[in-house]
Amino acid sequence: MNNENSDLKASSTFLYQRTGGGAHPVKVSEHSGLRKNDKMPYQLLVIETTDNYRPATWNTTFVMIKDLTLEKFIEKYIEGKEEFKDGYFSKPATSGGRRRRRSTKKARKTRRRSKK
């Protein structure tokens, strides 16, 4: 997984924008790329801004990709559950519907019993 971010250059720029506010031009650092323990692929982009603005949450973000290689990089790691159209990439509040609760057999039994 080391070669994945080789075509991501430090000069790659895109727009970071919260739904309520204005857009901030940001820079993708050389260290962006997949790390093992990250839950979502697009959380891996290390963001550096010119001012002291830092994205607090990723729940209301729209990222406009300017760099084509970066766009391909992100597209590669999206499993089609999240929206990615017109160069806009919007992250849903939950982690792409993957945070499914695993129902154990015991839990199912007790639930069934309480319904009766």
Residue-wise pLDDT for 75-93, tens only, equals: 554 444 344 444 444 444 4
φ, ψ (nearest 5 deg) of residue 103: -90, 120
Sign of CA dihedral 58, 61, 65, 71: positive
| Averaged pLDDT for residues 71-76 | 52
Among 44-48, 52-56, 71-75, 103-107, name the one with the lowest average pLDDT.
Answer: 44-48
